[in-house]
Amino acid sequence: MSWDIDSVATELLACEAERRDRVKFTDEWPELDVETGYKIQDETLRRRLERGEKLIGVKLGLTSRAKQERMGVKTPFVAWLTDAMILPADLPVPQDKLIHPRIEPELVFIMGDRLEGPGVTGAQALAAVSHVLGGAEIIDSRYRDFKFLAGDVVADNASSGAYMTGPVALPPESVDLSTEAVLVEVDGAIVDSATGASIMGHPAEALALAANDLAKRGLAIEAGWVILTGGMTDAVFAPPGSSVACHFTSLGSVFFNGG
Ligand code: 0L1
Ligand code: MG
């Protein structure tokens, strides 16, 4: 099989719809690099919007050392969030829509102002934020065993699945995000922890990276958008029957029932 931007986009969306995993494309198309991955990501976004989803923000991937080491990919990247990815509080993990969901804690920004790169600093990025929340992302790779190279995962919209935000929204100046901590609990046991400093020293640096990266594609972060700044810890499995919670120091807790 010889692949191109269109056929990879079609296959990724089919895998998602059919809950089917597959081997990574770079096994069959070694030239699939990050730049091509973004073209595929943009094509899948175009098709998601065409079928009625709304673009609501951006998610960053592999912004923490924990995630980079676990996934064996050292480059942070950006991907798209649509309204179809919102998981309302108290709903179980949608096992019937996902292949092999894993949960990771995230610090989440709601943008007050538009943010356009290049040259955006962490301080400028933070000044454009209206609120910060604790949250969690349910990632779901279309690749077997979550095994991929950078081009594959960028094409796959950074393993997007669903996300949930917590009950507390604070203005960014009222919380020290580098020391804001999270404890990850699975079935009553604490299995991991991190602080906001795990995200590039401060999650505002991840937001600046997103603005500067999008600028290379002629795009900007819009006011009102939701920004997931990247998994703070390694992701945990969420099989049916499990219960997962992410407890933040000042941003409350997010609870998942494995369904
Ligand atoms: O599957 C993955 O872990 C890649 C996406 C990374 C998401 C994140 O770092 O938040
Ligand atoms: Mg994430």
Map out the domains of the chain with their CATH numbers. Answer: 5-257 (3.90.850.10)
Burial, 57: exposed, middle or buried (Cβ in 10 Å; 0-12, 13-18, 19+)?
buried
Question: What is the best residue among 15, 99, 104, 106 to mutate for testing ligand 1's pocket, by most ligand atoms within 8 Å of CB?
Answer: 104
Q: Higher confidence at residue 9 or residue 71? A: 9
Pocket of ligand 1 contains residue 67 by CB under 6 Å: yes
Give Cβ neighbours of residue 61 (< 8 Å, ≥ 6 apart).
Answer: 67, 76, 77, 78, 79, 153, 158, 159, 230, 231
pLDDT digits (tens, 9 = 90+) for 131-145: 999 999 999 999 999
Q: Which ligand is nearest to the CA of 77?
A: 1
Q: Higher confidence at residue 90 or residue 214? A: 214
Pocket of ligand 1 contains residue 103 by CB under 6 Å: no
Whether 70 has a pLDDT exceeding 80, the answer reads yes
Segment 233-237 shows an average pLDDT of 96
Whether 91 has a pLDDT exceeding 90, the answer reads no
Pocket of ligand 1 contains residue 61 by CB under 6 Å: yes
In angstroms, the CA 23 to CA 31 distance is 16
CA torsion sign, 258 to 108 to 66 to 15? positive
pTM score over 0.95: yes
pLDDT at 249: 98
Whether 61 has a pLDDT exceeding 80, the answer reads yes
In angstroms, the CA 205 to CA 202 distance is 6
> Which residue's CA is the closest to the ligand 1 atom numbered 7?
61
